[in-house]
Every structure is written in C-alpha cells, then in structure tokens.
Amino acid sequence: MTEKTVLVLGGTGLLGKALIESCPAGFRVHATFLRDLPPTISFDGFARLDITDREAIIRLFQKIRPDFVVHLAGVGSVDFAEKNQSAARAVNVGGTQYVIEAGQRVGTRLIYLSSNAVFDGDHPPYREDSPRRPVNYYGRLKVEAEDIVQASGLEYAIVRPILMYGWHYAHARQNPVTMWLRLLEGCKTVRVVNDHFWQPLFVKDCADLIWRIIREDKNGVYNIAGPERLSLFDFALSAAKVFGLDSALIEPVPSSFFPTIAPRPLDTSFALDKIKSVFALQPLGILAGLERMKKTRLSERKSI
C-alpha cells in the first residue's frame, strides 16, 4: 500500500508533537516550524515555514504534495491576539487563506484546528452546530478562519478542542499543567482562577481524533474535550495531587484578579455526542490524563 503524506503545519506545538509521535502505519509525516527547532527533537521531517509567506507555502505544498494538511500553525495566545490584532489576523486568517490556496492547487484534504473560543460561554453545553458568539478577538479570528475553510471547496474537517495539556517540546509554549508543575516544584505560589469552567483535554486524545478523521476519511466539524467540567483551580489541585506537590501553594482567585487579560467565556462545556457516536471516542478524565503524564516523565527519567 502506498503511504499517504500528511503535512502538519505548526509541528513543534503541543498537538503537533503528539501527532508526530502517534503517526500510524501507512502515513508519512512532514511538519513545519517557524523559529529554531528545540534541541530535543529527533524527528527529521521538519521544514522551516512562515505561515504568512504565501509563496513559501505554495512551494512547500508543490514539493511535498500532501494528501492531508493538518493546520495547527497560528497565534495561540488569546491575550497576544487581543493586544496585537493586526499581527494576529495576518497569521490566523491570512495564513489560513494561503494554506487553502496552496491546498486547492494540489488537491489536499484539510484538517483545521479551531477552538472552544468560538462560543460565548453563556449557553453550555455546546454542540458542533451551536451559534458561534466569541467574546474575544482570538475567538473572532477562529470564526472567520472556520468560515473560509468551509467555503474553500476543499474536503475539510474542523476540530475544536478545549484546554489541551500534556508534555511539550523543551522551550516550547507551556500549557497550564506544565506551568503549574514548574512553579510548584520551585515552591512558588500559584494563583489560579476559580470562577470559569473548562473540560481539560489530554493532548493525545485530540491527536487520536485527528488521526481517526484522516484514516476514516471523515469530514465536518468535531468538538472534543475531556469528560469532566471543573474550574482551573480544581484542575491545578488535581495536578498537585497526582505529582505529589504542595497544594497549599495553590491560591484560588476570581478572574477579576487579572484585569489586563482578554475576556474569557465563562463555560464552554461541550456535548460530546458526535465524537462518541462517530468514532466511539472516550477522552480520558483528568486524573487518568495526569497519571499518563506522570508515567511518561518517570519512564523518560529511567532511560537517561
């Protein structure tokens, strides 16, 4: 059987790492990065790419001719997007337009990573067809990008995760769990919001969904999240418990404690009926996902 080619745009992020590490038989992965590659990366399929460089994207697509493109590249910081709107739009919308143009030229299928930020957080649980009413600029960019993907004429899938966590590459962008562990292991106080609610998602479950979409040739929109709804404060307490750290260092605060950050939706909890019925997919709960992280760390230390 001929291998299918998958191009992961933004391969050094948390989800990109999980996708590369879980590539199934029958597929060959290429991936892109923007800045210097982390020194711990052994994967040799990376190419440097600026997602705002239209000609470079077209050249890369014509060289690789991917069967599937997983578009993860973009500004992931809600607060950066709020404060730097032109720059964020050039990447998250402009870059997506260039990806679509290049994909149209080679006839690829597109999997686009969106976000729970497309919802207002006032009317949970949200299904794939729930009205999109973002409360921040980052969410508005995601809505705009979803729309151009859906109007592209390409075969596509849109995946909307909530708050992914797991081990990232060294020097890559942190997620809440890795940030809390770093602070708690340094015996530093951690202030965590307790009045907004999430369904944290172990990153390997999101990677599994994307590979299932690719292998089974599925199209459409898919919401994915962990099965438990809880505040970030309760999530941080769970992380401290699993990793044996001092939970007394974790201080609950209201969201108003951080007045300079962009607004966040109160509760974008998902109804997970679609991924359960289409893929029989059951994402891990909080404790199970954190235990997987702990086990991975222990196994890596033993191999050193």
Q: Which of 296, 300, 245, 265 lies closest to 131, judged by CA? A: 265
221 vs 157: CA distance, rounded Å: 6
Average pLDDT along the chain:
95
User: Of all residues in the chain, what percent carry a pLDDT higher than 90?
Assistant: 90
Band (pLDDT 50/70/90 cuts) for residue 99 is very high
On the question of pLDDT at 301 being above 90, the answer is no
Taking only the tens place, the pLDDT of each residue in 120-161 is 999 999 999 999 999 999 999 999 999 999 999 999 999 999
pLDDT of residue 171: 79
pLDDT band at 298 (very low <50, low <70, confident <90, very high): low
Reply yes or no on whether the pLDDT at 173 is more than 90. no
pLDDT of residue 37: 80
The Cα 38–Cα 167 span in angstroms is 13
pLDDT at 299: 65
Taking CA atoms, 285 is separated from 95, 165, 274, 282, 289, in Å, by: 34, 12, 18, 9, 6
Is the pLDDT reported for residue 303 higher than 60?
no
pLDDT at 43: 77
Residue 7 CB burial class (10 angstroms; 0-12, 13-18, ≥19) = buried
Question: What are the tens digits of pLDDT across the range 207-255?
Answer: 999 999 999 999 999 999 999 999 999 999 999 999 999 999 999 999 9
pLDDT classification of 172: cutoffs 50, 70, 90: confident
Mean pLDDT check: name the lowest of 101-105, 159-163, 299-303: 299-303
Residue of 29 and 40 predicted with greater confidence:
29
Predicted confidence band of residue 1 (pLDDT cuts 50, 70, 90): low
Q: How confident is the model over 19-42, as a mean pLDDT?
A: 89
Q: Within 10 Å of residue 255's Cβ, how many Cβ atoms?
A: 15
Q: What CATH code is assigned to 4-166+200-226+269-284?
A: 3.40.50.720
What's the confidence (pLDDT) of residue 300? 58
Local structure of 43: helix, strand or coil = coil
Which pLDDT band, with edges at 50, 70 and 90, does 304 fall under? Answer: very low
Are 13 and 174 in contact by the 8 Å Cβ rule? The answer is no
pLDDT of residue 220: 98
How far from each other are the two terminal CA atoms of the chain, in whole angstroms?
37
